[in-house]
Chain A
């Protein structure tokens, strides 16, 4: 008896399927709400090589859904913590730890070492970047995402050249403020738990050929009603316009700009700009009862709903920097203020107060 007996005795699975899992190399991008359950089940099922990639640190608000981590892990890198935990559980699989965010510079060299990618990221620029790289490299992608009480799962790029990819479904990248993520809208931790587990199930079925998969289909699931909907996907001839034609073109693409996030700066850039701009201002656009407050720097507090009626206060400020909890409402505020002050330097601080480089976290 070994630790995989319960799955290879399944009719139709068998030792051949187990051998395929043992030989497979799967990369999980993002060790968050989706990546936590996905990597746990891939490791338990005996996927021979698992890469876990995340540049973020564990924070307290992650713990309702990122079940790989606990209160003793706060402030630690997610990929390192996840890799350490999985290695301590199983000795017969290889865990590659990549404690970095995925970028146009590292994506090609990292993805090309794997047979299948699981996208557990939490933002559109990363999702389009991962999709495009999988298309150019010919690697299948198990997509998963959540919004409030609903989730999506699909296997993209799973049938070789001319497979369906994410751009066939959504050719025009939405902006972050158009479709908020979990840190803006909230999420029951168990929802990404279900969706990430479905991603692991689809990866295992795809690798082994066991059962029928969500290749060229997208599943929608609602946790409040348990309603599910499976859409058969179609190739969209217009989608190719946005897809980089070569690896070089992908590496030269700014995915933040593609997804309308070109108005963002990080905290370090923000403070650098403020230091050079005597009448520049920093505005917290959250509601007054939202915490934590920014520590150590002067700022104004004007909730998003009141930004437009207060805009006249900032006519003489040459620089306006806005922040919120995670960088989504502040991006909306940028769009509002740009209409009043074309040409003024107005930026949203990426990741908001929760960003790992915010003064509260560093």
Chain B
């Protein structure tokens, strides 16, 4: 990974849908652009709810992504 890219890490069902638990992508300026890209590449994601963390802090709505950031896609689990 370089400073001009972003790293996406995925958990649970999201990792299954994007078929990996880590993706390095070209830089994208904010979480909405990133989600648009992910929904286009992996249409199945549109039917799954998940929370987003930027550098390990949960973010809500459109959020600026700093260079070299790590974005995590975190779905809910229900099993017990």
A124 within 8 A of B: yes
B27 within 8 A of A: no
A229 to B58, CA, bound (A): 12
Known: A120-B80, A122-B80, A179-B76. A234 touches B49 (CB 8 A): no
Q: Which residues of A contact B77 (CB under 8 A)?
A: 145-147, 150-152, 179
A150 to B13, CA, bound (A): 10
B13 touches A179 (CB 8 A): yes
- A-B pairs under 8 A by CB, number: 100
CB-contact partner of A238 in B51, B60, B72, B79, under 8 A: B60
Interface residues contributed by chain A, number (CB under 8 Å)? 45
Q: Which residues of A contact B78 (CB under 8 A)?
A: 122-124, 127, 145, 147, 174, 176, 179, 181
A327 within 8 A of B: no
A192 within 8 A of B: yes
B74 touches A218 (CB 8 A): yes
Interface size class of B (residues with CB under 8 A): 20 to 34
Q: Determine, out of A29-37, A91-99, A296-304, A311-319, the stretch whose residues face the partner at the interface.
A: A29-37
A296 to B74, CA, bound (A): 44
Known: A150-B11, A178-B47, A231-B53. A121 touches B80 (CB 8 A): yes
Q: Mark A108-127, 1 if CB is under 8 A from B, else 0.
A: 00000000000111111001
Interface residues of A in 139-163 (CB under 8 A from B): 144-148, 150-152
Interface residues of B in 50-76 (CB under 8 A from A): 51, 53, 56-60, 72, 74-76
Nearest opposing residue in chain B for A34, CB measure: B80
**How far is the CB of B47 from the nearest CB of chain A, in Å?**
7
Nearest opposing residue in chain A for B57, CB measure: A232
CB-contact partner of B13 in A35, A119, A144, A147, under 8 A: A147
Q: Which residues of A contact B23 (CB under 8 A)?
A: none
A144 touches B49 (CB 8 A): no
A151 to B75, CA, bound (A): 11
**How far is the CB of A172 from the nearest CB of chain B, in Å?**
6
A170 touches B60 (CB 8 A): no
A129 to B68, CA, bound (A): 39
Q: A230-B56, A231-B72 are in contact. List 16 more A-B contacts (CB 8 A).
A: A30-B80, A122-B78, A122-B79, A146-B79, A147-B75, A147-B78, A150-B11, A174-B76, A178-B49, A181-B79, A187-B79, A192-B79, A229-B9, A231-B74, A232-B56, A232-B58
A-B contact list, 11 entries, CB within 8 Å: A148-B12, A150-B11, A169-B74, A176-B78, A179-B75, A179-B78, A180-B79, A222-B11, A229-B11, A230-B56, A234-B58
